[in-house]
Structure 1
Amino acid sequence: MSDPAAPRPARRPRTAVLLATALATVTALTACAAPAAPARAAGAAAPSLDGVWRTDGYGTLVTIEGRTLKTYETTALSCLPGAVTGSRAGAPGADGTLRFTVPDSAPLTVAPAGTDRARMAFEDNVGHHALRRAGALPKRCAARPARDPRAVFDVFWQTYAENYPFFRAKGIDWNAVRDRYRPRITATTTDAELFAVLRAMIEPLHDAHTRVVAGPDRWFAGSRPGTVLPTPEFTARVDRAIAANLGPGAVQRHWAGGRLSYADLPGRIGYFRVTQFAKYTERGDYAGDVAELDRALDAIFTRARTQGPTALRGLVLDLRLNGGGSDALGLRIASRLTDRPYTAYRKRVRNDPRHPGGFTAPEPISVRPHRGPLYTGPLAVLTGRLTISAGETFTQSLMGRSPAPTRIGENTQGVFSDVLERALPNGWSFGLPDEEFLTADGRTFDGPGIPPAVRTPVFTDAELTAGRDTALARARELLARGTGAASS
């Protein structure tokens, strides 16, 4: 699912210290559009987007002045400069749409959507973010923020209070958390003491999309209990176990620095492993990621593998060590696996600071078939607790596919939202989720993760010591029998 100030997915490993980022780094070692704006009369001038805008949800103000876009991070008591500063690229579109380039990030667009309304979208994200005109910037947005530890605590607590969606589901009384920890903070609280308090506040959430970063050597990211980050040694053992269980003659071909790999297995079964949805090239930009992913997909999903007597009888999609990245790249793969459009999921964001149950209207996100060879046969998807974030939204996006995939292994990690990245007045940063990814019947898998239909061990010490890969073996067995499409 990163979000430097508003709706950008922090599952892209751009913050470098998070659970998903650490996983992606280690493993690398081895939509339906929103409603269109009303039509303008012929010859009418496109509306100007200059001014101040507030996002619906995300607690963000956006200013557009001439060729520059800036964001501000707001709560009921704070306004800090955001991390997004965009420069307009080219002339406005015929309908007034503006495109902005953002240093070290994907481009974004802002499009008119009616009187005093607009839509903002990041190229590497899915969905849109509604904007409404907001008048002038609040005076506090221009004031120098107080660095007092009490002010830092208050901004941290207030941001979670206004945006975090899962307090009730996790049994956390956030007001009680404030009452417990706020009296411990004074004007003389040290950085070490303050960091320990902020960590203690969010650790019980057990949420891999929560974090606080006080520096390169002082940071904390949450995780579901029992989650252990892989080491290079562990990853090497995993690679050996997978290779030993692919079958005789199987040779893996690699792209994106090893983040994408494919092998033809005996019995006309394909094995496609994806360990990350980001940083497919040294430059690490989204356009380069798309080009490298498409290069791999074109090489994998050939006419020979998708049509006629040599076509695959089944495909294993391995996401067990997937640390996340861009949801849009996951949908790009899903588009090669269907010949009909369908809804991947519906995405909504918490937008009522006073009521945790207040959300925007869910926006449907679609999978649309690729124009080219498609694989539409039986699919087995391997998952585990180290299937994280964009790895999970990709897993969810395949649930509406026909035939439905069989999920094999363990529950995914249980974090789907883009991460709302925020700054603190003392220069630290932190993050939290503020969105839900809904199934067709309104369910979310936040917390427990997406369960498998066939439960097997995933990279346990016993499995790796014995050179076994039960999940992969089970997938091959089901696909060889022609029963690899059986879960919902």
Structure 2
Amino acid sequence: MVISKRGLVLGATALVGASVVLTGAGLHFSKSWALFKESPKEIVDEVWQVINHDYVDGTFNGTDWRAVRNKYLKRNYSSNKEAYEAVREMLEPLEDPYTRFLDPEQFKSMQIDTSGELTGVGIQITQDEKSKEITVISPIEGSPASQVGILPKDVITKVDTTSTEGLDINEVVGLIRGPVDSEVMLTVKRGDEQLSFTIKRQRIELHAVESEYRPSASGGIGYIRLTQFSSNAAADMRIAINKLKKKDAAGYILDLRLNPGGLLYSSAEIARMWMDKGTIVSTVNRRGEVDRLTAGRGKLTDKPMVILVDGGSASASEILAGALQDNNRAVLVGDKTFGKGLVQSVHPLEDGSGLAVTIAKYLTPSGRDINKKGIEPDYTVKLSEEQLEERTREKFATSADPQYVKALDILLEKIVAKDSTQLQSAATD
């Protein structure tokens, strides 16, 4: 299995306002596909062919996939809309919320905006495979959703007056999206509470990396916050590390909390900045073919490092955290991560629609399958619901943030221990 630099996406199911879109690997369609060109059946068969060729589960969740094709191609479709409904129905037996069909409008609105902006409320959501509940993975830092108090794990029960029960994730995304400056009301279930938030849709400028040099008695600390694994995240991370190196940072805190993921190659490139050898991640497709991404003597610093994670750290965040934890490059502090260990490829279809399809699962360097399990931090610091609700941007990564305080304590201990070891080594020499 060959990992394409631009062929894989590791994000949650939907980012309301934008999403990651990548061209899929070249597919070889059967001759029969050509018979349906210029007809709605073309869409149905094209989707079937992509799933048949690439889907991670060769049993198709116990479904006779060839019988599915015959069933849906025997139908007559008077419009593309009818074909779209058939495609979504065809995908249901897979019971995979990450494999989903996007009509042209949805596909266009969910493409990467190369300017680094998106329009919407700024939340990333997923749909539970069993309950079908629409759950918030993470609000984007500084987004309208974040500002009104939407939290990870909130279950969206209504959009305005429309219940989300029985809706698929694309339908919910369609309800949440809308023009800039218009308002939408989200009703969420948080524990035993039902809460409603009125949110004004905005154009959101995305900055993947924020960094700051923070003085301390044991040496300056380089604090880096990574909010998403976008196409420019690796370049921004390199700039941030080099700036902090020039200030002689004695150690680093990498904050991956509320980072819902993004591009696989971005997480791998960033991992290589922190480690010079070892496996970063391995992927396994349905044929059992394993491919590994490795580091190769390109790290920018060997200073002590602590990573902050929580339940909003998903997919590509988990790859990076798992790689540095398994290779003993960093310790993890915070709460258990989200638990998304699947890889999707997004395919543009002939009529302008698109298909996201799960093509592989990934394992951490030690062979851990973290899907639905998450990664346990080395030091667990759980926040209460009250603490989460009170955690504003001003309090994030400050003395008012218990997870950050613990990470800082551990990092300072590591800096002192490293300095002591170096002094002992120098004395011996």
* Same fold per superposition (TM over 0.5): yes
C-alpha distance in 2, partners of 1:370/1:11? Answer: 24
Aligned to 1:377: 304
User: Which of residues 224, 247, 254 is equivalent to 1:272?
Assistant: 224
Note the alpha carbon deviations across 1:223-266, whole angstroms, 9 max, x for none.
Answer: 35253263723334689xxxxxxxxxxxxxxxx96321123446
1:24 Cα deviation from its structure 2 partner: 7.2
CA offsets per residue over residues 194-251 of structure 1, 9 Å max, x none?
3334334546767564232212257899835253263723334689xxxxxxxxxxxx
| Cα distance in 1, alignment partners of residues 89 and 259 from structure 2 | 27
Distance 1:331 1:442 in 2: 17
1:401 counterpart letter in structure 2: N
Q: How much does 1:396 deviate?
A: 2.8
After TM superposition, the structure 1 = structure 2 runs for residues 429-444 of structure 1, keeping only pairs within 5 Å, are: 429-444=354-369
In the alignment, what sits opposite 1:19? Answer: 14
Task: Tell me, yes or no, if structure 1 residue 74 matches structure 2 residue 74.
Answer: no
**Per the alignment, do residues 22 and 342 of structure 1 end up closer, same or farther by CA in structure 2, a change over 3 Å counting?**
farther
8 Å CA contact 1:345–1:397 kept in 2: the answer is yes
The 3 A distance-change label for structure 1 pair 376 and 9 is farther
1:372-429 deviation digits (Å, cap 9, x = unpaired):
5x133142331434x3443332223223332442252232350442x33334454422
Separation in 1, partners of 2:258, 2:351: 35
What secondary structure, in the 3-state scheme, does the structure 2 residue paired with 1:227 have? strand
Q: Does 1:334 align with 2:271?
A: yes
**1:122 is matched with which residue?**
none
> For residue 118 of structure 1, what is the aligned residue in structure 2?
none
CA distance in 1 between partners of 2:325 and 2:403 (Å)? 19
3-state DSSP of counterpart to 2:390? helix
Identity %, equivalent residues: 19
Aligned to 1:214: 103
Could you tell me which residue of structure 1 aligns to residue 7 of structure 2?
9
The residue aligned with 1:262 is 211
Write the distance in 2 (CA, Å) between the matches of 1:293 and 1:433.
Answer: 28
Number of residue equivalences? 327
Residue 434 of structure 1 deviates from its aligned partner by 1.3
Secondary structure of 1:262's aligned partner:
strand
Match of 1:359 in 2: 288
Q: Is the 8 A contact 2:48 2:69 kept in 1?
A: no
User: Displacement of 1:298 after TM fit?
Assistant: 0.8
1:227 aligns with 2:227: no
2:255 to 318, 322, 331: 318
- 5 Å-filtered alignment, 1:122-133, equals none
**AA partner of residue 105 (structure 2):** P
Specify every segment of 5 or more residues in structure 1 that has no aligned partner in the other structure, as ranges: 26-57, 61-71, 80-142, 240-255, 281-288, 306-310, 351-355
Give the C-alpha shift of residue 76 in structure 1. 4.5
Q: Is the 8 A contact 1:262 1:270 kept in 2?
A: yes
1:409-488 → structure 2 map (5 Å cutoff): 409-417=335-343, 419-457=344-382, 463-465=388-390, 467=392, 469-480=401-412, 482=414
Provide the residue aligned with 1:29 in structure 2.
none
What displacement does 1:430 show? 0.7
Which structure's residues are more often helix, by fraction? 2
Residues 12, 326 of structure 1: 8 Å contact kept: yes
* Normalised TM-score (structure 1): 0.54
Distance in 2, matches of 1:412 and 1:303, equals 34
Contact 1:421 1:429 in 2 (8 A): yes
Q: Is the 8 A contact 1:157 1:178 kept in 2?
A: no
**Aligned partners of 1:388, 1:364: CA distance in 2, in Å?**
20
2:318, 2:337 within 8 Å by CA — same for their partners in 1? Answer: no
- Matched letter for residue 319 of structure 2: T
Distance in 2 between the 1:237 and 1:482 partners? 38
1:345–1:269 CA distance, 2 compared to 1 (3 A)? same
Q: Is the 8 A contact 1:331 1:397 kept in 2?
A: no
Matched, 1:156 2:47: yes
C-alpha distance in structure 2 between counterparts of 1:7 and 1:332, whole Å? 10
Q: Which residue of 2 aligns with 1:397?
A: 323
Select which of 75, 78, 81 maps to 1:186.
75
Contact 1:207 1:224 in 2 (8 A): no
Residue 146 of structure 2 aligns with an amino acid whose one-letter code is: T
- Cα separation, partners in 2 of 1:347 and 1:78, compared to 1, 3 Å: farther
Rounded to whole Å, the distance in 2 between the matches of 1:476 and 1:73 is 49
Give the deviation of 1:273 after TM superposition: 0.6
Distance 1:227-1:475 versus aligned 2 partners, 3 A rule: farther
The 8 Å contact of residues 341 and 361 in structure 2, kept in 1 or not, is answered as no
Query: 1:239-258, aligned counterparts within 5 Å?
Result: 258=207
Structure 1 residues 319 and 416: CA distance shift in structure 2, 3 A: farther
1:347 equivalent in alignment to 2:283: yes
- Determine whether 1:174 maps to 2:103: no
Q: CA deviation at 1:443?
A: 3.8
Counterpart code for 1:19: A
Secondary structure, aligned partner of 1:397: helix
CA RMSD of aligned residues (A): 4.5
Distance 1:466 1:401, change over 3 A: closer
TM (norm. structure 2) is 0.60
Hey, what's the Cα distance between the residues in 2 that align with 1:196 and 1:450?
Answer: 37
Once the two structures are superposed, what CA deviation does each residue of 1:21-76 show, in whole Å capped at 9, x if it has no partner? 85779xxxxxxxxxxxxxxxxxxxxxxxxxxxxxxxx995xxxxxxxxxxx42244
Pick aligned residue for 2:37 from 146, 152, 161: 146
Runs of 4+ displaced beyond 6 Å: 218-222
Return the letter of the residue paired with 2:408.
Answer: R
Alignment check: 8 A CA contact 1:384 1:410 kept: yes
Does 1:195 find its partner at 2:81? Answer: no
SS of alignment partner, residue 370 of structure 2: coil
8 A Cα contact 2:10 2:342, kept in partner: no
Shift of the 436–337 alpha-carbon distance from structure 1 to 2, 3 Å rule, reads: same
Could you tell me which amino acid in structure 1 is paired with residue 259 of structure 2? Answer: N
Inter-CA distance 294–235: structure 2 relative to 1 (3 Å threshold): same
